[in-house]
Structure 1
């Protein structure tokens, strides 16, 4: 395996599968199967999941809700997704720990960096819930921050597209895919990889990002082995 410790970022929408909202249990089970292949190879895995399939703070703000209140509701949505994935992972035979930035003693542990690292060292998959615990920050930023805190080798952003393109490939048939691109070129070309806070955190800490199609079977394992999948962003 090329990477010893990875941070896998999944969007909340990814858990919807073919549904319009909520959680598709079959899709979650599929992801658990993909993750187990990497887990069985001894890779240390941390995961951050969004909450957009249940609740999105920005959308609620546009509808008139207080942004801080809406963002906290979005954080709770990420915990629901994290619990669903935790259940699927454990049913597949993996050991997990859910750590959240908001205390919820009955269902998870509070995020403590040293505790998270120790869980990883003991071979447990660590799921980080509730974002950073602060409003105005996305789960992309939470993924970048946690990856830096645990000294992950790479951020793997699993999406429904197979990498970064010159334009949205779902809208522009002439869009071309990058196999590799620098942080500066992403800035210069105005490409949408992560929100700017998350992206800048990775650049400043020299943490590479790989954007890939999580829905294609075997991609996660191939990436962990060092195969060229998706788009690599680094200096």
Structure 2
């Protein structure tokens, strides 16, 4: 059973069917799902949320300076973190947003030991602003923050995909799901779990990853209880 976990969320989870923007109802539903799953456990929870519902540097920033486009995306993750914080606190869960890009009026600056202290006090910590530097994805941020705070696992939340497959199950009826993989399997088979930098860092540090369907009822609660859900990726 995990004591401290990092949950990686897609920004699209806040958008709903439109796939764009922040829908307060979707944010509230997501927050309730997380709060209810954690209720009655001692799991310390940190979250990294992406910004793809607001901005994608490669797509929206075409023609812009690449670093500038990435910084805009990082600001989008802070907006999502604030929206999720609001929803979680309305659901009764004390939450802190910590940003790698300093903006004291809306978020605490990211300080590793302060983040760990919040977790020890039962607060959920949402990391925004990426890792403060361009050219890195929120997958890499998730891995970095998990290692920094001593998380035991990265939980990669998906929507309507219940694990890692050898090909896209939404396009191929014969796609095969893996129950377990090694980090090296993911790299060598070029499976789309997270970007190469993130998966290599997990492999080097022996950090497990679980890929699962967040919207399958009870999945997150089962993970918090230490049950097997989705695909587990770990060292050989």
Judge which range, 214-223 or 143-152, deviates more: 214-223
1:189 aligned partner: 189
In the alignment, does 2:211 pair up with 1:211?
Answer: yes
1:201 aligned partner: 201
In the alignment, does 2:117 pair up with 1:154?
Answer: no
TM-score (norm 2): 0.96
SS of the equivalent of 1:123 reads coil
* Equivalences for residues 1-235 of structure 1 within 5 A: 2-40=1-39, 41-61=41-61, 63-160=62-159, 161-235=161-235
Name stretches of at least 5 consecutive residues in structure 1 with no aligned partner.
none
After superposition, give the CA deviation of every residue in 1:86-121 in whole Å (9 maximum; x if it has no partner).
Answer: 001000111111100000010110000000001101
After superposition, give the CA deviation of every residue in 1:9-31 in whole Å (9 maximum; x if it has no partner).
Answer: 00112222212311222222122
After superposition, give the CA deviation of every residue in 1:65-95 in whole Å (9 maximum; x if it has no partner).
Answer: 1100000000000001000100010001111
In 2: Cα distance, 1:11 partner to 1:58 partner? 17
TM-score (norm 1): 0.96
Q: Aligned residue pairs: how many?
A: 233
In 2: Cα distance, 1:3 partner to 1:111 partner? 24
In 1: Cα distance, 2:167 partner to 2:177 partner? 9
Q: Is the 8 A contact 1:18 1:24 kept in 2?
A: no
In 2: Cα distance, 1:142 partner to 1:210 partner? 16
- TM-fit CA distance, 1:34: 1.8
After superposition, give the CA deviation of every residue in 1:155-176 in whole Å (9 maximum; x if it has no partner).
Answer: 0010111110000111111101
SS of the equivalent of 1:18 reads helix
Q: Is the 8 A contact 2:98 2:125 kept in 1?
A: yes
In 2: Cα distance, 1:189 partner to 1:217 partner? 30
In 2: Cα distance, 1:217 partner to 1:28 partner? 17
In 2: Cα distance, 1:156 partner to 1:28 partner? 19
After superposition, give the CA deviation of every residue in 1:207-226 in whole Å (9 maximum; x if it has no partner).
Answer: 10000111122111111112
In 2: Cα distance, 1:194 partner to 1:84 partner? 24
In 2: Cα distance, 1:207 partner to 1:126 partner? 20
